[in-house]
Amino acid sequence: MTDTDKPKRAIDTQNVGAVLKRVIAENGREHIKSYILAIICLGLIAGTTAFTAWIMETVINEAFGRSDSGLIWIVCVVIFLAFVLRGLATYWQAVLLIKIGNNIVAKYQRRIYEHLMKLSVGFYSDARSAQLAAQIGQNISGIRDILNMTVTSIARDLLTLIALIGVMISKDWVLTLIVFIVAPPLMLGLRYVSKRLRSATRLSVEVNSYVIGAMQETVQGIAVVKAFTMEEELSRKVSHLISDAERRANRIARLAERTAPMTETFAGLAISSVIAYTAYQSLYAGALPGAFVAFVTALLMAYDPARRLARLQVRVEAAATNARMLYEILDIEPLQRDTDGAKALEVTQARIEFRDLVFAYGNGRRVLDAVSFVAEGGMTTALVGPSGAGKSTILNLIPRFYDPEQGAILIDGQDIAKVTKSSLRRHIAYVSQQPHLFEGTIRDNIRYGRPDATDAEVEEAAKMAYAHDFIVAQPQGYDTAVGENGVTLSGGQRQRLSIARALVRNAPILLLDEATSALDTESEAFVQKALDTAMTGRTVIVIAHRLSTVVNADKIVVMQDGRIAEEGTHESLMGRENGLYARLNNLQTVRADI
C-alpha cells in the first residue's frame, strides 16, 4: 500500500458480530422480501419436523395401546401431508437462498472490480497482482456464506430446535432437564475451538493466495521458465508453498472437526440417560410408552439442528475471516481524488509546463528534485538520460498516475491537480514500451482508445499506424482474437495496435515511453513510421534510449539523477563537447559501429 491509498476505516478483526452487522447492513434491505419468503419456508420445515415428533405419542398409544385404527389412518395422512409440505419448503428455501447468494457474489465482484479501478497505480506497484486476484477469488464467497448460514441457522435450525425442545418439555420436563445438564461444557469447548480457528483460517487463505499467485506467474512467464530451465527450482518453490497450504488446511480440518467428538459425546450421554430413565418409567411405573417415544423422537430429531448450531460459530468464524479480508481491500480509500470544485480540463494549445517538481516513491529516495521545463504545444519534447534519471516518473505524473510531493504541472495554464482526472486523461494518449492487449478481438483492442469510435475510424487508425495490412492478413481480419495479452501477434504488431489505439483516441497530448526500444530493426522501422504519423500536430513527450530516434525532436531534455542536466535541440546539444547528451550519443554511435 502506498501513501496515496490507505484504509478508510479500521476493521475489527476479533468481533464476528461487527462483520455480520456490516454484511446485513449492506445486503439485508435489498433482499428482504426473498429472505422473508425463505424464512417462512424454513419455519415450515421447523414446524413440520417438530410436528412429526409430537404426533409420535398419538401413533404409539393409539396404534399399540388402544388399537384405534380409524385415528391411525387420519394420522398417517396428516404425516404424509406434513412431509410433502416439508419437501416443498425445503426446495423453495434452497432456491431462494442460492439465488440471493449468487446475487451477492455478483454484486461484490462488480463492487471490488470498480473499487480496484479507482485505486492509484501506486497501489498496484506494491501489490502482487496474482496474489490479489487469488485473495479476491477465495474471499468473495465469505460474505454470501456468512449471511446464508446465519439465516439458515436462525430460521431453520434454531426454530427447529426450539420447537423440538418444546415437544420434549411437553412430554417430560425431567428428561429435558437431564439433556441440558451437559450443555455448558460443550459450549465452552466450541468457543475455544472457534478462537483457534479464526487465526488459522486467515493464514490458510494467505498461503493459498501465494500458491495460486505462484502458479499464475509461472504460466505467464512460461517462455522464460523453459528458456532458463527453471522448472525444477520453481517446482521446489511451489511444492513448498503447497505443502505449507496443505499443513494449514489439515490444521483447520483438525480444529473444525473437534466439534464432532464434543457433540457426539454430548449426544451419547444425553440419549443414553434418556433411554435409561424411559426404560425405568415404562418397566417399573407402568406408564404408556407413547410420551417417551415422542420424547426420544424429538431428541433424536433435535440432534442434527443442535449439531449444526454447535458448529455454526466455527463456520461463521471462517466465513467472517474471508469477509474481513475482502473488506480490507474495499476499505482502501483512494486518496488521489478530484479536489473539491475540480473543473474539466480545457485544452487549446496543449502546452505543458513543469514547475519545480519533487517526487519520491515509497522508499523515500527522491526521484525528481526541482525539475522545471516546458513542452510547447504541438511540438515534440524528448526526455533522454541514463536509467533511473526520472524520465518515466515525469511521464507518469502527467496523467496523474502519481501526484508530486511539491511543484505543479500545468496544461495551458491549468494546474492538473485542480481538474478532474477523467477530463485530463481524455486529452492524453499513451503508448508504453511493453504494449498491453486485452482479451478480445483486434477491433476491440483498438476501440478501447475511444469506445464510441466507428468501424471506419478504427480501420483508419490502423492504416495510420501501419497495422492494416497485417490485420487483414489475419484469419478473421479485424475480428481475429488476439489471445492473452496478444500472444498470437509479434512484438511489432502488438506495438502498432497500441499506436492505433492511441490514434483512434485523437487526443492532443501523446505520451511515448520507449515505444521502439524492445523491437527488432524491421519492426522498429514500421513502428517509427507509425509514430511519425501519430506525432503530427500533437504535443508529444517521448522517452527514448536510442537517441537516433529523437534527433528531430523540437526540444531534448537531458536528465541525470532526478535533475535536468541540459536541454536544447540535437544540434545545440551536440555542440557541447563535454555535455552529457553528446557523450551518450557518441557512446551509442561507437556501439552501433561495433
The confidence band for 387, taking pLDDT boundaries of 50, 70 and 90, is: confident
Q: In this predicted structure, what is the pLDDT of residue 82?
A: 86
315 inside domain: yes
Domain harbouring 319, CATH code: 1.20.1560.10
Task: Identify whether residues 500 and 514 lie together within a single domain.
Answer: no
Query: How many other C-beta atoms are found inside a 10 Å radius of the C-beta of residue 506?
Result: 13
Across the beta sheet with 414-415, the strand order is 366-375, 352-360, 406-411, 414-415
The pLDDT of residue 13 is above 50: no
343 inside domain: no
Convert the pLDDT of each residue in 246-289 to its tens digit.
787 777 777 666 666 766 676 676 667 767 776 776 666 666 66
Q: In this predicted structure, what is the pLDDT of residue 158?
A: 82
Angle, helices 32-54 vs 69-118, to 10°: value is 150
Range of the domain at 109: 5-334
CA count, 13 A, side-chain hemisphere, 498: 28
- Between 15 and 510, residue with greater pLDDT: 510
- Cβ pair 251, 200 in contact under 8 A: yes
**What is d(CA 292, CA 282) in angstroms, rounded to the nearest whole number?**
9
CA count, 13 A, side-chain hemisphere, 461: 28
344 inside domain: no
341 inside domain: no
Q: Can you tell me the mean pLDDT for 175-190?
A: 66
Task: Identify whether residues 446 and 310 lie together within a single domain.
Answer: no
Domain harbouring 381, CATH code: 3.40.50.300
Task: Identify whether residues 443 and 422 lie together within a single domain.
Answer: no
Cell of 144: 454470501
SS3 222: helix
First-last CA distance in the chain:
46
Q: In this predicted structure, what is the pLDDT of residue 238?
A: 81
- Cβ pair 46, 160 in contact under 8 A: yes
**What is d(CA 317, CA 142) in angstroms, rounded to the nearest whole number?**
10
Task: Identify whether residues 422 and 483 lie together within a single domain.
Answer: no
15 inside domain: yes
242 inside domain: yes
- Between 301 and 7, residue with greater pLDDT: 301
Task: Identify whether residues 480 and 376 lie together within a single domain.
Answer: no
Convert the pLDDT of each residue in 351-383 to its tens digit.
999 999 999 887 677 899 989 999 999 899 999
Say which range, 1-15, 88-102, 147-161, has the weakest mean pLDDT: 1-15
Q: In this predicted structure, what is the pLDDT of residue 152?
A: 80
Q: Can you tell me the mean pLDDT for 452-463?
A: 91
Task: Identify whether residues 80 and 149 lie together within a single domain.
Answer: yes
Task: Identify whether residues 501 and 449 lie together within a single domain.
Answer: yes
- Cβ pair 569, 554 in contact under 8 A: yes
pLDDT above 70 as % of the chain: 78
Convert the pLDDT of each residue in 97-118 to its tens digit.
888 888 888 888 888 888 888 8
Q: Can you tell me the mean pLDDT for 447-457?
A: 91
Going by DSSP bridges, is the β-strand pair 555-560/380-384 parallel, antiparallel, or unpaired? parallel
Task: Identify whether residues 94 and 241 lie together within a single domain.
Answer: yes
Q: How many domains is the chain partitioned into structurally?
A: 3
The pLDDT of residue 230 is above 80: no
Residue in this structure with the C-alpha cell 409420535, named with its chain if needed: 56
Of 303, 334, 365, at which residue does a domain stop? 334
Task: Identify whether residues 155 and 229 lie together within a single domain.
Answer: yes
Give all strands (DSSP E) within 335-427, no chain letters: 352-360, 366-375, 380-384, 406-411, 414-415
Of 334, 364, 393, at which residue does a domain stop? 334
Task: Identify whether residues 312 and 442 lie together within a single domain.
Answer: no
Task: Identify whether residues 496 and 513 lie together within a single domain.
Answer: no
Provide the Cα torsion 233, 236, 241, 245; round to 10°.
160
CA 64 to chain centre: 63
Q: In this predicted structure, what is the pLDDT of residue 407?
A: 92
574 inside domain: yes
The pLDDT of residue 417 is above 70: yes
SS3 365: coil
Task: Identify whether residues 42 and 67 lie together within a single domain.
Answer: yes
**What's the Cα-to-Cα distance from 292 to each of 173, 266, 299, 389, rounded to whole Å?**
11, 20, 10, 87
Cell of 539: 504535443
- Between 590 and 520, residue with greater pLDDT: 520
103 inside domain: yes
**What is d(CA 202, CA 200) in angstroms, rounded to the nearest whole number?**
6
- Nearest one of 377, 378, 360 to 368, comparing CA atoms: 360
